[in-house]
Amino acid sequence: MKTADLSGYLIYPNPENPTLTSHVVGRDHTGKEVEVDVVTERGLTVYLNKQEIVTLMTLGDHPEYLALGFLLNQNMLRNDDVVTGIDYDEELEVAIVRTQRETNYEDKLKKKVRTSGCAQGTVFGDIMEKFDTITLNAETQLKTSWLYQLSRQINTTPSIYQKAGAIHGCVLCHQAQPLVYMEDVGRHNAIDKIAGYMFKHNISPEDKCFYTTGRLTSEMVIKTVQMRIPILISRSGFTAWGVDLARKAGLTLIGRAKGRKFVALAGFERLNYDADLSQIADEPKKSGRRNAD
């Protein structure tokens, strides 16, 4: 398949960055020596002002976006907070986010919920804090022709995944255009990097949709709703609670999106079946995208 046109992206993966993969020597199934690329995995300890919040295992690119997005998605950083600076020390693997507002999440840090799959390892405090109060934009549409264009473009965008596998991708999209494509060894980090990017560059979520390679668990749904993105699309499957929450929040939830097939389990009203299916190919065997994990 030919490579996607990257001109419409705001940001996309850089598989040429030598720090994101390493080249290792092993043996193949015949016993022959083989060289393979494997993805980098390193720690990043996030501080909010004086307080150590968490240590994340990450691919290592965009640490500032990751730190910002993690704190936002944990409701530790507010959308109206003034970030006075982010200090990142590559050697110490530390990112310190400084805000005008004084912060203290001692109590919140005590309460841990470990969530399913790759969505996110831990949420602190009450992840449902804001969930019930959020109304998603009902006007935002998803034309099926856009969905098929998105899949094709994302699958043909050069990525660390294509180079080394074992990594998740998340993409913020507007209609048929992928805008912000982040990858990480932890899918939760890819999402958080996008949240950080949106915060830093003041990108509004209401007219966007989210494309992910990972499963649609309760926690993926909660994060998408918290980010106020009304449409969530995945190549993977669903959990029952994820479906329940999507229906409660009025989120359009689409899974098992491969080739011309997909299944929508919530928010049907945003779907516009405009695509001429006779023109949509089934997914080629070498689509360059399987599931990461």
* Size of residue set near a copy of itself by CB under 8 A: 76
CA–CA separation, 293 and 212 (whole Å) = 12
By rule CB under 8 A, what string of x and - marks binding of each residue 30-49 to a copy of itself? xx--x-x-xxxxxx------
Among 236, 251, 270, 289, binds a copy of itself (CB under 8 A): 236
**Residue 39 CA to its chain's centroid (Å):** 17
Do residues 256 and 249 lie in contact, with contact meaning Cβ atoms separated by under 8 Å?
Answer: no
Token readout for 281 is: 């190919």
Among 48, 56, 172, 195, binds a copy of itself (CB under 8 A): 56
Among 94, 142, 164, 225, binds a copy of itself (CB under 8 A): 164
Do residues 209 and 248 lie in contact, with contact meaning Cβ atoms separated by under 8 Å?
Answer: no
- 141 sits near a copy of itself (criterion: CB under 8 A): no
- 261 sits near a copy of itself (criterion: CB under 8 A): yes
**Helix 187-200 / helix 63-73 crossing angle, nearest 10 deg:** 90
What residues between 213 and 232 interact with a copy of itself by CB under 8 A?
Answer: 214-219
Do residues 246 and 217 lie in contact, with contact meaning Cβ atoms separated by under 8 Å?
Answer: no
CA–CA separation, 270 and 274 (whole Å) = 12
CA–CA separation, 79 and 134 (whole Å) = 14
Smaller CB distance to a copy of itself: residue 9 or 163? 163
Smaller CB distance to a copy of itself: residue 56 or 229? 56
Among 273, 276, 281, 286, binds a copy of itself (CB under 8 A): 273
Among 174, 188, 223, 270, binds a copy of itself (CB under 8 A): 188
The least CB distance from residue 167 to a copy of itself, in Å, is: 8
